[in-house]
Amino acid sequence: MPSPRYSAETRRNTTPVTGVFLVGVLVACAGATGQAQSPDASPLLLDDGRPRPVAPAVIAGNERGVAVRATRITEPITIDGRLDEAVYAQVPAITEFVQQEPRFGTPTSESTTAWVFYDDANFYVACRCLMADMTQVVANDMRRDSSNLRQNDNFGVFLDTFHDRRNGYLFYVSPVGGMFDGATANERTNNADWNTVWNAKVTRSADGWYAEIAIPFKSLRYQPGRQQTWGINLRRTIRGRNEYAYIAPIRPEWGVGGFFRASAAATLVGLEVPAAGKNLELKPYGVSRLTTDRIARPPVRNDLGYDLGLDVKYGVTKSLVADFTYNTDFAQVEVDEAQVNLTRFNLQLPEKREFFLEGQGIYTFGGVTGGGNGDAPTIFFSRRIGLDGARAVPIGLGGRLAGRIGQYNIGALNISTDRIASPEVAATNFSVLRVRRDVMQRSSIGALLTHRSDSSVAAGGNQVLGLDGTFVLSQNTTLGGYVAHSRTTGLARDAISYRANFNYGADRYGLQLDRTVVGDGFNPEVGFLRRTRFRSSYGAVRFSPRPRRNRIIRQYFYESSLDYTTSNQNELESRTLTASARADRQNSDSFRLTYFNEFELLRQPFVPAAGIRVPAGRYGFQHAAASWTPGQQHRLSGVLTADVGQFYDGSRQTASVNARLGITDRFGIEPNISLNWLQRGGTRATLRVAGARATFTMTPRMFVALLVQHSSASKSLAANLRFRWEYEPGSEFFVVYSDAHDTSGTPGQFGLQNRGVVVKFNKLFRF
């Protein structure tokens, strides 16, 4: 049952982080005097030196860290968020939550308790999050996997199931039942689009909110063996106060990404996993579509079609999974958002297709340890497969193998795409092999091989082989880099690229150094190369003090960076010097001012907008930007930016809004507007992108979203309406409508360009 109303004094947790260590000492003393022990209670110290919690204790700690004991239950928990099973009264709760922000190491400001259970099928986590004033709870989006959910009040679970102190899974729930899952890799990257089968329910009362989470063991990957030791961390976020609290302390300089720090997580003991089953999943789908395309050659009008396909997942072991796909279809994927591009380079659009998102962290390459050069190549970019520009290329058959063998992470992928007659796109095979080995405590070395059977720039195929490494020198200091070589049949130029990156990221000071070189002939055709043939040196410094006893400002950030890029003949092509100041408020609002001093060498004329033509030559220009980021607790949140100054030998003014207006916890509008006024001589031009996404969420697993956007560059007005219903965990039903209209005003061109309606159904079978 939910606990009775607490007084203001008793709502605060009274056990600081040292209390966890004290529990460990008391447990050790009790064990030494002959207290009865559970089967998992000996030895009293774990291999890493942490004290083992002895029943009935469920948490213990010392200077080496925190350990948590999972409790086996004989009856499954009914996932309804009510916390009314008898086990909640019988098993002690975990109460030792300590702040990362705003006061590191002190107890969370509101009483927070949690339980960790398991049975023969599921891993369970439950929480009781009390709140003195429930009107301060921020919960304005319940849609599953919404990016806004992480900016709401939430309770999160991190699981390092291989206990390699590097990788893990994330699960969040919000006070209105929103669910989010993701997979983290190398303590740095979070694949927010990773999805698995799990369940969570939430209830609310006058004094807090309560949640129950059930994660089937079938949904997780871990080492073989019935007795398991995992890493675990639990986090409560109180968004209105910009407060984060964990059971295993996370340092402030690690930021929100500190949740990914598997090396800092608690050790989870007492866990027994079920015997392996068939580890087989089948997911057939059926799709029907009605299409009109007036700009196709020949034009298509109300063309009715249907298709069938199948995805198969087989667990070779509990840590190694094979996937096969036949006739893959991505009709349910939302269209790309329109963007303004005022650079002379292509934009790298994000991957949204589920098949390529799962296990994406394995293929992360380059040993990059922080920010730095945005021009560095991506050696493997999955959007090169099954897409030709914005046009989909049918995928016939594909397979992949991903997982872990001992100290090695393995990723192998092979996919074949079909031929398209007009315009001509050849049938092509894509292969990727990734091997990464853990070395030392948190470092790794690896290799990546990519192959494309039909090159897009020469007759024959294309291959890239690369070696990379990431070396963690201390908690705040990392070093990484790569060297890669490409080979394209018919091309015989310098085909080397390499990079070295150093990052020191403490709370008060920061330093980044980066050196990237791309040879004249380097050609990663299963990757993304924004800029060719260059040498770049990048450096950045940061000073970020925290004022004492300031009720308004939590932290200041003063940063400066220099990006210096030359050709491979050492001729200066680009230089960007920046200086910025930022103030983060206690409530998570943020304000930033940035100054830019830029140089660009144009080897050929540049046309950023219709009517604006910048001749070839050397240009130096300056501009300044101001941005305001209101916190998620406001009804209007997001980023508002203004940028004013010179642009080559002219000028520009930019105003942009990328925000969310939360009407209710079920309905929100996300405007995305970018207005750019350019002037050169007596010529003026305006580049506009205006769009908005409106989302109505019926339940955490059912929503309808409308995306409408207009771009002055493409002279089009497009709409995309998506209905998604996860009628069973892992099984989905989609209805998607999309259209595009010409807005150029050209006689005979205004009107409908294309329109389509898609209905898709899939069903997950687990064995």
Tokens of 58: 């469920």
**What is the predicted pLDDT for the residue at 15?**
36
- Tell me the C-alpha distance between 348 and 190, whole Å: 18
3-state percent helix, strand, coil for the chain, nearest multiple of 5? 10, 55, 40
User: How far apart (Å, rounded) are the C-alpha atoms in residues 339 and 251?
Assistant: 36
Q: pLDDT tens-digit profile of 456-499?
A: 888 889 999 999 999 999 889 999 999 999 999 877 676 899 99
Give dist(CA 101, CA 252) in Å, integer. Answer: 6
Is a pLDDT exceeding 90 seen at residue 16?
Answer: no
Q: Return the structure tokens found at 236.
A: 């409560």
Residues 177, 160 contacting (CB under 8 angstroms):
no
Return the H-helix or E-strand segment holding 21: helix 17-32
- Looking at per-residue pLDDT, the higher value among 33 and 102 belongs to 102
Q: What's the pLDDT score for residue 399?
A: 92
- For the record, the structure tokens of 179 come out as 């669910």
Distance from C-alpha of 672 to C-alpha of 375, rounded to nearest angstrom: 25
Strand partners, 539: 513, 562
- Tell me the two tokens of residue 357: 């998102």
Give yes or no for residue 748 having a pLDDT over 80.
no
- Centre a 10 Å sphere on the Cβ of residue 123 and count the other Cβ atoms it contains: 26
Mean pLDDT over residues 25-51, rounded?
Answer: 51
Q: Measured on CA atoms in the order 137, 138, 141, 146, is the torsion positive or negative?
A: negative
CA distances from 637 to 401, 518, 634 (A): 41, 39, 6
pLDDT digits (tens, 9 = 90+) for 324-346: 999 888 877 878 888 888 888 88
pLDDT beyond 60 at 37:
no
User: Residue 450 corresponds to which amino acid?
Assistant: T
Predicted local distance difference test score (pLDDT) of residue 489: 85
The residue type at 246: Y
* pLDDT at residue 422 in the model: 64
Q: Are strands 65-69 and 98-101 parallel, antiparallel or unpaired?
A: unpaired
Give the whole-angstrom CA distance, residue 765 versus residue 737: 28
In terms of Cα–Cα distance, which of 168, 89, 81 is closest to 128? 81
Strand pairing category for 617-629 and 553-566: unpaired
Are the C-beta atoms of residues 201 and 81 closer than 8 Å to each other?
A: yes
User: Which range has the top average pLDDT, 12-26, 122-136, 455-469, 713-727?
Assistant: 122-136
The residue with greater pLDDT, 673 or 48, is: 673
Q: Are 752 and 739 in contact (CB under 8 A)?
A: yes
User: What are phi and psi for residue 294, nearest 5 degrees?
Assistant: -80, -15
Q: What are phi and psi of 44, to 5 degrees?
A: -75, -20
pLDDT of residue 361: 79
Beta-carbon count within 10 A of 206 CB: 8
pTM of model > 0.85: no
Q: For 705-738, how does the pLDDT look when each residue is reduced to its tens digit (9 = 90+)?
A: 999 999 888 888 999 999 999 999 899 999 999 9
pLDDT tens digits for 356-412? 877 777 888 987 655 567 889 999 999 899 887 767 888 889 999 998 898 899 999
* % of the chain residues with pLDDT over 70: 92
Query: How far apart are the two ends of the chain, measured CA to CA in Å?
Result: 35
pLDDT tens track for 237-286:
999 899 999 999 999 999 888 999 999 999 999 999 988 777 899 999 99
Task: Name the residue with tokens 């909110």.
Answer: 209
d(CA 284, CA 312): 8
Kindly state the tokens that stand for 721. 């309406």
Residue 761 neighbours by CB distance under 10 Å: 16
DSSP track, 387-456: EETTEE--EEEEEEEEEEETTEEEEEEEEEE--BTTTTB--EEEEEEEEEEEETTTEEEEEEEEEESS-S
The backbone torsions φ and ψ at residue 151, rounded to the nearest 5 degrees and listed phi first, read: -95, 5
Contacts of 521 (CB under 8 A, 6+ apart): 486, 488, 491, 492, 493, 494, 495
pLDDT of residue 40: 44
**What's residue 750's pLDDT?**
55
Q: How high is the pLDDT of residue 610?
A: 86
For 499-534, the pLDDT digits (tens) are 999 999 999 999 999 999 999 989 999 999 999 999
Burial 337-364 (b: 16+ CB within 10 A, else e): ebebeeeeeeeeeebebbbbbbbbbbbb
The reported pLDDT for the residue numbered 46 is 86
User: What pLDDT score does 553 carry?
Assistant: 95
What is the pLDDT, as a whole number, of residue 268? 97
Mean pLDDT of 49-65: 92
pLDDT above 70: residue 289: yes
Residue 622 near residue 646, CB atoms below 8 Å: yes
What is the pLDDT, as a whole number, of residue 36? 31
**713 or 428: which leads in pLDDT:** 428
Q: Tell me what pLDDT residue 23 has.
A: 32
- 437 with 415: CB under 8 angstroms? no
Q: Going from the N-terminus, what domains does the chain have, and what CATH number goes with each?
A: 15-69 (no CATH), 70-272 (2.60.40.1190)
Percent of the chain with pLDDT over 90: 64
Distance in angstroms (rounded) separating the CA atoms of residues 466 and 447: 6
Task: Report the pLDDT value the prediction gives residue 35, as an integer from 0 to 100.
Answer: 30
Rg (C-alpha) for the chain, rounded Å, is 27
Tell me: pLDDT of 39 over 90: no
Which residues 6+ apart lie within 8 Å of 221 measured at CB?
161, 162, 315, 318, 319, 321, 403, 404
Whether the predicted pLDDT of 43 surpasses 60: no
Mean pLDDT of the chain: 88
